[in-house]
Amino acid sequence: MLVIECPYCGARPEPEFAYGGQAHVARPSEPATTTEDELLQYLYLRDNTRGLFRERWRHVRGCGRFFNAIRDTTTDFFVTTYKVGERPDLPGVGA
C-alpha cells in the first residue's frame, strides 16, 4: 500500500486514490477541425513508458480532486505529485 501525496491534502494511503491514466493528454476541443489521427491519438493511443511516467490520479475518497504525478513504472514509487495546470520538469521524464 503506497503512501501518495495529494497536492491538496498531503500524504494519504493508496486506497483513497484512483488511477486516471496518462497525464497531459489534451482533449481536442474543436471537433470540426480535429483530424482522424488527432482523435485516435486522444482516444486510444497511450505511452507504455518504462521509467518515469506522468499520470493522472484522483483523491477520490478524500478531497475528490484530480492531480498529476510522476511515477517510476519500474518501482511503482512516486517521484512527485502536482496540481492540474502545473508541469514540473524532471530529468529523465518525458514531456
Partner 1 sequence: MKARTTTGGRVDRSKKIQFTFDGRSYEGLAGDTLASALLANGVHLIGRSFKYHRPRGILGSGSEEPNALVTVTRDAARRTPNLRATQVEIYEGMTAESQNRWPSLEFDVGAINNLLSPMLPAGFYNKTFMWPRSWWFKVYEPKIRAAAGLGVAPTLPDPDRYAQQYVHCEVLVVGAGPAGLAAAAAAAQSGARVILCDEQAEMGGSLLSERSATIEGLPAMDWVAQTLASLRANPRVRVLARTTAFGYFPHNHVGLSERLTEHLATTPANLPRERLWQVRASEVVLATGGIERPLIFPGNDIPGVMLAAAARTYANRYGVRVGERIAVLAGSDAAFEAAVDLSATGATVAVIADVRPVGSIDGPGYAAAKSARLRILPNATALGVTGKLRVEGLQLGLIGADGQVVAGNTIACDTIVMSGGYTPSVHLHSQSRGKLSYDETLGAFLPAATVERTRSAGFSRGVSGLAAALNDGATAGAAAAAAAGLHTTAAPLSASSLDAGLAGQPGALPQLAGLIPPKKAFVDFQNDVTTRDIALAQREGFESIEHIKRYTTTGMATDQGKTSGLNALGIVAATSNRRLAEVGLTTYRMPYTPVTFGAFAGAARGEQFDPVRRTPSHDWAVARGGVFEDVGNWKRTRYFPIGSEDMDAAVHRECLGVRNSVGMFDASTLGKIEVVGKDAAEFLNRFYVNNWTSLGVNRSRYGILCRDDGFVYDDGVIVRLADDRFHVTTTTGGAARVFGMMEDYIQTEWQDLSVWITSTTEQWAVVAVQGPKAREVLAKVVTNVDLSAAALPHMGVAHGQIGGIPVILMRVSFTGELGFEINVPAEYGTDLWEAIYAAGQEFAITPYGTEAMHVLRAEKGYIIVGQDTDGTLTPDDAGVAWAIGKTKRDFVGKRGMERPALKAANRKQLVGLLTADPAVVLEEGAQVVLEPNRPIPFAMIGHVTSSYFSATLGRSIAMAVVEGGRSKMDQTLHVAMPGGDIPVKVVSTVFYDPQGARLNV
**Which residues of the chain form contacts with partner 1 (CB under 8 A)?**
1-3, 13, 18, 20, 27-32, 34, 36, 39, 42-43, 56, 58, 60, 64-66, 75-77, 84-85
The three cell numbers locating residue 19: 488511477
- 19 touches Zn ion (CB under 5 A): no
How many residues of this chain interact with Zn ion, rule: CB under 5 A? Answer: 6
User: How many C-beta atoms lie closer than 10 Å to residue 51's C-beta?
Assistant: 12
User: How many C-beta atoms lie closer than 10 Å to residue 56's C-beta?
Assistant: 17
Task: Find, among 72, 83, 49, 93, the residue nearest to 2 by Cα.
Answer: 72
Judged by beta carbon distances under 5 to 8 A according to partner kind, the member of Zn ion, partner 1, none in contact with residue 45 is none
- Is residue 63 within 8 A of residue 10, CB to CB? The reply is no
Judged by beta carbon distances under 5 to 8 A according to partner kind, the member of Zn ion, partner 1, none in contact with residue 6 is Zn ion
Q: What's the CA gap between 76 and 8, in Å, rounded?
A: 21
CB of 10 to Zn ion, least distance (A): 8
- List interacting residues with Zn ion (CB under 5 A): 6, 8-9, 59, 62-63
